[in-house]
Amino acid sequence: MRLGRTFVAAGLTAALALSAAGCDGGDGSAHAGDPTAPASSPSGGFPGSATPVGLDPAHVTDPPGRRTGAIAPADIVATGAETIPDATVEAIRRLRGVAGVEQISMAQIPVENRALSVAAVDPGTYRNWVVDPYAAQSDDVWDRVAGGELALRPSLRTRAPIGKDGFLALGSTEGASRVHVGAYAKQSWLVDAVVNRTWIDTLDMTPGNALLIRTGGTSPERLRAPIQRLLRGTEASVQMTDVVAREGLDPGAVQTAVVVGTVADAVGTFRYTVLSGGHIAPDPAWVDAHIATETVPILGDVTCNKLIFPQLRAALADVIAQGLADRIHPGEYAGCYYPRFIAGTTTLSNHAFGLALDINAIENQRGTAGEIDRSVVAIFKHWGFTWGGDWAYTDPMHFEMNHLVRPG
């Protein structure tokens, strides 16, 4: 059965669990309440207030109103680093075999070592493109998104670090923007979470850098080359969602990750291809521009992102100055630049960008409090690193750069 066929509209509103309290865990952590419990009413009601809560008025837009049009997911997804020009979008829309185009904004936002794929959308039109027709018909979900809240893919409810107040910080720094999780609903292919378009500037996203494309009765593969020709110059990746559905990502496509937030300067536009066994092959030009092997105190030679070295050296020099060098064990250093996905997923981590390092790995396993000296932790935090031991599902060996620090 083709993924692009139009779903028969169902009259039942989605029975979605809509957040009231959020969760306080990452992978395998405890959840506030039962995350598998149904919504408070069979039609997908709200466990708490029937209106969005705790929101900045700047992110509130009008509800989308009654849903109209066909419900069907994309057959092709195109993602680039720059805004796709209107003329190009229109040319793709006019291609023989193209049944519909939806322009959205896409970015990858590092959240506790997970590059979360966030889309900024028009909730009134985007809802027809999600992979679950029941979610498409739920006015509750899209009213929440229009009201400034975030709709999250259900599989992330126990993985994303949602606070007990129901807010998710989109970034790793203390000042990262926090968005209230208003709904759990399946999204379009390759999208983890959606917000409305008022968040584009707040999250430093690129407007309109992605397209969802339906091909109706035409084979998507027949349209790949014509779409790629029209997108030439934008360096956008073009991938088939029938492959995505089977394998997670299209191995025939160059993937494009547009990382935003305080580490954006260290990553830029990250392009890569998918290999077997969870590994990836970053664009060699990106590797040459961003990755280097240099000598640092205590650890010796390490391979990392070039921009991490000044503050990494400063942190390790500070460890030595405070008489704590013996608290870091070079023989237990577990790496920095590691071009692969998070185990068992197709999600990039900060290791793929060379922005995270694992130290004292043996006695600091995931899910434990860890034995690393807390004075060492404090030094790394001072020099612009986040510590995985502070996460809901702890990773105490892990330190990642959350913002650039330029030692004086």
Q: Is residue 257 part of a domain?
A: yes
- Residues 6 or more apart whose CB falls under 8 angstroms from that of 68 comprise none
* Chain CA centroid to CA 38, Å: 26
* Dist. CA 294–CA 229, nearest whole Å: 41
Residues 63, 181 within the same domain: yes
CA distances from 136 to 38, 50, 110, 151 (A): 18, 19, 27, 12
More confident residue, 251 or 218: 218
Lowest mean pLDDT among 7-16, 163-172, 196-205, 384-393: 7-16
Least confident of 20-24, 155-159, 221-225, 399-403: 20-24
Q: Is residue 31 part of a domain?
A: no
257/286 same-domain check: no
Domain CATH code at residue 304:
3.30.1380
Tell me how many domains the chain contains.
2
Domain boundary among 234, 261, 288: 261
Residues 210 and 344 in one domain: no
Cα 197 to Cα 104, 129, 145, 234, distances in angstroms: 9, 16, 10, 22
Question: Do residue 208 and residue 61 come from a single domain?
Answer: yes
In a shared domain, residues 292 and 360: yes
In a domain, 269, yes or no: no
Q: Give me the residue label for tokens 């959840």.
A: 31
Domain boundary (237, 261, 285) is at 261
Residue 275 has pLDDT above 90, yes or no: no
Q: In the structure, what pLDDT confidence band is assigned to residue 33 with cuts at 50, 70 and 90?
A: very low
pLDDT of residue 159: 83
* pLDDT at residue number 378: 97
CA distance 284 to 272: 9
> How confident is the model at residue 5, as a pLDDT?
37
- Does 328 share its domain with 300? yes
Instruction: Using pLDDT thresholds of 50, 70 and 90, give the confidence band for residue 54.
Output: low
Tell me the residue length of the chain: 408
Least trusted range by pLDDT, from 103-107, 214-218, 274-278: 274-278
- Of 136, 96, 121, 141, nearest in space to 7 by CA: 136
Sorting pLDDT into bands at 50, 70 and 90, what band is 317?
A: very high
List residues bridging with 213 in a β-sheet.
Answer: 76, 101
Q: Are residues 240 and 372 in the same domain?
A: no
For 229, counting Cβ atoms within 10 Å of its Cβ (0-12 exposed, 13-18 middle, 19+ buried), the class is exposed
Q: Is residue 178 part of a domain?
A: yes
Give the range among 12-16, 73-77, 185-189, 219-223 with minimum mean pLDDT.
Answer: 12-16
HEC assignment per residue over the chain: CCCCCCCCCCCCCCCCCCCCCCCCCCCCCCCCCCCCCCCCCCCCCCCCCCCCCCCCHHHCCCCCCCCCCCCCCCCEEEECCCCCCHHHHHHHHCCCCCCEEEEEEEEEEEECCEEEEEEEECHHHHHHHCCCHHHHHCHHHHHHHHCCCEEECHHHCCCCCCCCCCEEEECCCCCCEEEEEEEECCCCCCCCEEEECCHHHHCCCCCCCEEEEECCCCCHHHHHHHHHHHCCCCCCEEEEHHHHHHHCCCCCCCEEEEECCCCHHHHCEEEEEECHHHEEEECHHHHHHHEEEEEECCCEEEEEEHHHHHHHHHHHHHHHHCCCHHHCCHHHCCCCCCCEECCCCCCECHHHHCCEEECCCCCCCCCCCCCCCHHHHHHHHHCCEEEHHHCCCCCCCEEEECCCCCCC
Is 329 within the bounds of a domain? yes
Residues 362 and 383 in one domain: yes
The pLDDT score that the predictor gives to residue 244 is 62
**Domain for residue 6, yes or no?**
no
pLDDT tens-digit readout, 329-352: 999 999 999 998 888 788 888 899
pLDDT value for 160: 87
Q: Is there a domain that residue 42 lies in?
A: no
The set of residues, in sequence order, having a beta carbon less than 8 Å from that of 27 and lying 6+ positions away, is 158, 159, 366, 393
> The domain containing residue 317 runs over which residues?
274-401
Instruction: Note whether 88 and 207 are same-domain residues.
Output: yes
Determine, yes or no, domain membership for 49: no
Distance CA 298, CA 362 (A): 17
pLDDT(35) > 50: no
pLDDT given at position 225: 93
Q: Is the pLDDT of residue 217 over 80?
A: yes
Structure tokens at 53: 């809560």
Query: Does residue 255 sit in the same domain as residue 315?
Result: no
CA nearest neighbour of 391 among 23, 19, 36: 23
Of 74, 94, 92, 75, the closest CA to residue 84 belongs to 92
Same-domain status, 179 and 313: no
User: Which pTM value belongs to this model?
Assistant: 0.80
Q: How confident is the model at residue 226 (pLDDT cuts 50, 70, 90)?
A: very high
Taking residues 161-178, report their average pLDDT.
85
Indicate whether 18 pLDDT > 80: no
Q: What pLDDT is stored for residue 179 in this prediction?
A: 93
pLDDT, the chain, mean = 84
Q: Is the CB of residue 35 less than 8 Å from the CB of residue 8?
A: no
pLDDT tens digit string along 111-133?
A: 888 889 999 999 999 999 999 99
Tokens of 358: 């694992």
Question: Per DSSP, what are the bridge partners of residue 170?
Answer: 177
Q: Last residue of a domain, which of 239, 261, 283?
A: 261
- Angstrom distance (rounded) from CA 228 to CA 258: 19
- Greater model confidence, 278 or 386: 386
Least reliable range by pLDDT among 37-41, 96-100, 241-245: 37-41
120 and 253 in a single domain? The answer is yes
pLDDT at 246: 54
Cβ neighbours, 10 Å, residue 390 = 13
